[in-house]
Structure 1
Amino acid sequence: MRSRLVAIAAACAAGLVAAGASGASAAAAPTDLAHQVLPANDGWAAATTGTTGGVAADSAHVFVVTNRTELVQALGGNNKTNGANATPKIVMVQGTVDGNTDDAGQPLSCAAYAAPGYSQDAYLATYDPAVWGTTQRPSGPLEDARRQSEQNQAARVQIRVGPNTTIVGMGRDARMIGLNLLVQNVDNVIVRNIDFENAFDCFPQWDPTDGSSGNWNSAFDNVSLVGATHVWVDHDSFTDGDNPDSQSPVFFGRLFEMHDGELDITKASDLVTVEWSAFREHDKTMLIGSSDTATGDVGKLRVTVHHDLFDGVDERAPRVRFGQVHVFNNLYVIQDPTYVYSWGVGVQSQIFAQNNFFLAASSVQPAQFITVFSGTAIHATGTLVNGFSPAHQVDVVAAYNPAHGTALSPDVGWTPALFVRIDPTPAVPVLVGLFAGAGHLR
């Protein structure tokens, strides 16, 4: 599949000038990366005040960090209260920051987080559906111990980020492993040029009521935006690293899911731009809105997703509730048989999709690109599938409706106005394939 991507990118490169795309401007590195702010009109995060992160930081609040302890110190010194630290700050990440380490930098295993009374074997024996049943979630001392174990791990791996903060990777190899950046109830944050890997939960919860067969649910994303506003996510990479869920064991007939989302945007988060980033080999990738009953999300969750790579992700690219979400110039590399869908049309969602390119396995049909979760409309134009000619252009909504016996409307009630440019779809494979993800800004 990746060789096909390279071939398509090479074929497309020759036509870039004729197509009018500007790959050089997309890939150009700023003179001072740490002080760069979101350009005007670059998606929803440019609305109202724009997004400037820590650009106002004085010299005492510009840091280079190489480990978890230094990261927490740079963000304010106390992980429990750093989320309230509004002092402008710039945090430059050099090398690898591992979330599962102690204050001396020594690695922590799952056993280090386990609460008294917890063991996985005992948990599996107690909540086996043949013993516990399938009509209620686990409860009791073992579930309490599992929850405490998970909270112990969260205290290490969830790193709270305050307002007016820029976190930027230096060079080509800045990584955050096993770490969940938590941007909660704050404004004005920039996260750029970081390779996020393997934010795993040692203690997933079994829920026999989740779906028809139950599911294992984990707690940690790579990046979580929770009630956050004005956030710019740019040129980052997201992956499960060397711990993919495909290699996890199966318990109770379900995959032992140790990862949650790669980038989730929830609980009335608003005015977010996610661009030039790469999401690879993951299941539930990007959730925008976490509940059908969250009335506080109405009028919020305005997000722009552009020039991103979704390579080998199974679903949620993105799944949307409520928000006006502009999805354009993204590249989807779809591999069977684990693929579920790309665009999730949730309750009152208003997805406006433009000029996206799908490179899909032959067994995957355009009618599968959408799944409906109580939504009624999605706008999708300019989509190309497995080629560049007019014959490869697909009306995804028109493909979905007869295949599913529905009547999704293409009218979402709004037209995006915040964007710098929208590239022609044939240019997307080479632009995104070559320039999306961490390591391109330096």
Structure 2
Amino acid sequence: MRKHRLLVSLALLAVLSVPAHADARDISRDTLAADDGWAAYGSGTTGGAAADDAHVFTVTDRAELVRALDGGSDTPKIIRVAGTVDANTDDQGRRLDCDDYATDGYSLKRYLAAYDPRTWGAAKPSGPQEEARQASAARQAERVVLRVGSHTTIVGLGDDAVLKGASLQVRGADNVIVRNLELRDAYDCFPVWQPNTGGLGDWKTAYDNLWLAGATHVWVDHVTASDKGHPDEDEPTYFGRNYLRHDGLLDITNASDLVTVSWSRFVGHDKAMLIGNSDSATADRGRLRVTLHHNQFESVVQRAPRVRFGQVHLYNNRYVVPEDVHDYRYSIGVSTESAVYAENNAFTVPGHVEVADLVKSWNGSALYQRGTLFNGFPVDLLAIHNAYNSGSERDLTADVGWTPVLHGGIDSAQAADRAVRKGAGAGRIP
């Protein structure tokens, strides 16, 4: 009997000593399924699945993450994020704030006084305060910009992995996976004022939570991206404009190609996702091929996404505009030479948002859509857009010139709405 009690005690001790995330399925060597969107095209997307044991890292702070990223090297690697990693910390882990980065006499008060449009005019800021702002911004960038190289997988462990204050940048890299991770609050301490000849201007910020630039074969899955911690709506107004601190949640630009974004949440943000950054970037032709499926865009004002040039398959996504989002502009942006193929997406919006508000076009010519639900009712986005906006925007045709073939099963918008509500975002991989 004594031996039996001892064995039971040892077994209970073993159970209690297992880390909270140990019972979760190990996803660190998962690869993208063969038909799962544009990132499956050609060689597919395997991330760091081929990494040897010496290049599998578990990181708990910025210093460990920086070492694991290895300056954006192309060595196959798997990086597992445990808990919250804060990019705004020094090498000893001490928290840094905007005052720690400020240098050369920079202060917001002096910057505002120097470049007030009423006295400065419409010229770009220049001189001591702008130079000090640039130097201060460079100090923050050294901390928060984290370069991701080719053949890399970054995954969160368990259901509470957070990368806070960082701008993950996949630039000129191939074969990258980012999964099961909350990307939070890529906060810019030093926005720049950009005046224009119309007498106003805007504040320009530097950091996206995740930026793909010239990146290929990228799979973003079960990620939650937001401004949590410092929402822009709480920022003051200077020069008649909201003092923005955040850029995009996920931007895909500079001839990036073959990207799949799945089962992710984009929450509480203005300009959420830009695919193609300039009407004049003609090198983007034939690139920017992106699949977005089973994602939730919640409390997003615009760019969900806005597309230039790319062939974008947008299916089984869920859009939620709460009652308190009174500055909502649009969801799907159809811009220069874009070819968006939208299927079975569901929109839940308050009474002040109409069907015609969901699509906005700038020099765009085509949008294919079918199976759209608007507050539970089927609608034809294309027909309603053309009927309501023909006086101010060009009519769109349904002929986008291509038909998606790389995708899994496409659910009805109603079924997808339920599935995405329950399953999208970090910490929800089945």
User: Does TM, scored on the shorter chain, surpass 0.5?
Assistant: yes
1:20 counterpart residue number: none
1:53 matches 2:38: no
Scaled by the length of structure 1, the TM-score of the pair is 0.89
Give 1:44's match in structure 2, choosing from 29, 38, 48.
38
Match of 1:273, SS state, is strand
Sequence identity, in percent?
Answer: 53
User: Would you identify which runs of 4 or more consecutive aligned residues in structure 1 move more than 6 Å?
Assistant: none
Counterpart AA for 1:43? G
Q: Determine the C-alpha separation between the residues in 2 that align with 1:344 and 1:428.
A: 22
Contact kept? 1:30, 1:441, Cα under 8 Å: no
Once the two structures are TM-superposed, the CA of residue 141 in structure 1 deviates from its matched residue by: 2.2
Once the two structures are TM-superposed, the CA of residue 211 in structure 1 deviates from its matched residue by: 7.4
Q: Determine the C-alpha separation between the residues in 2 that align with 1:117 and 1:348.
A: 46
Change (3 A) 1:212 1:386: farther
Q: Based on CA coordinates, which of the two structures has the bigger radius of gyration?
A: 2
1:396 matches 2:381: yes
Give 1:331's match in structure 2, choosing from 318, 330, 341.
318
Contact kept? 1:198, 1:243, Cα under 8 Å: yes
1:6 counterpart residue number: none
Q: How does 1:164-313 map to 2 (within 5 A)?
A: 164-209=151-196, 213-313=200-300
1:33 counterpart residue number: 27
Contact kept? 1:160, 1:183, Cα under 8 Å: yes
Counterpart AA for 2:258? L
Counterpart AA for 1:344? G
1:151 matches 2:124: no
What residue ranges of structure 2 are gaps of 5+ in the alignment? 1-22
Once the two structures are TM-superposed, the CA of residue 115 in structure 1 deviates from its matched residue by: 2.2
Q: Determine the C-alpha separation between the residues in 2 that align with 1:430 and 1:212.
A: 47
Change (3 A) 1:439 1:42: same
Change (3 A) 1:231 1:30: farther
Backbone CA RMSD of aligned residues: 1.3
Once the two structures are TM-superposed, the CA of residue 428 in structure 1 deviates from its matched residue by: 1.6
Deviations 1:145-198 (A, max 9, x none): 212211211110010111000000000000001011011001000000001111
Deviations 1:76-116 (A, max 9, x none): 2xxxxx22x11110000000000100000000110111120
Once the two structures are TM-superposed, the CA of residue 363 in structure 1 deviates from its matched residue by: 0.8
Deviations 1:402-442 (A, max 9, x none): 21113111111110011011111110221000000001137
Contact kept? 1:30, 1:36, Cα under 8 Å: no
Q: Determine the C-alpha separation between the residues in 2 that align with 1:183 and 1:298.
A: 20
Deviations 1:254-284 (A, max 9, x none): 1000000000000000000000000011000
Match of 2:136, SS state, is helix
Counterpart AA for 1:404? N
Which piece of structure 1 moves more, 210-219 or 183-192?
Answer: 210-219
Q: Determine the C-alpha separation between the residues in 1 that align with 2:258 and 2:128.
A: 42
1:92 counterpart residue number: 80
Counterpart AA for 1:401? N
Q: Determine the C-alpha separation between the residues in 2 that align with 1:379 and 1:142.
A: 49
What residue ranges of structure 1 are gaps of 5+ in the alignment? 1-28, 77-81
2:425 counterpart residue number: 437
Scaled by the length of structure 2, the TM-score of the pair is 0.92
Change (3 A) 1:211 1:222: farther
Contact kept? 2:144, 2:167, Cα under 8 Å: yes
Contact kept? 2:58, 2:79, Cα under 8 Å: yes
**How many residues are matched?**
403
1:425 counterpart residue number: 413
Counterpart AA for 1:409? T
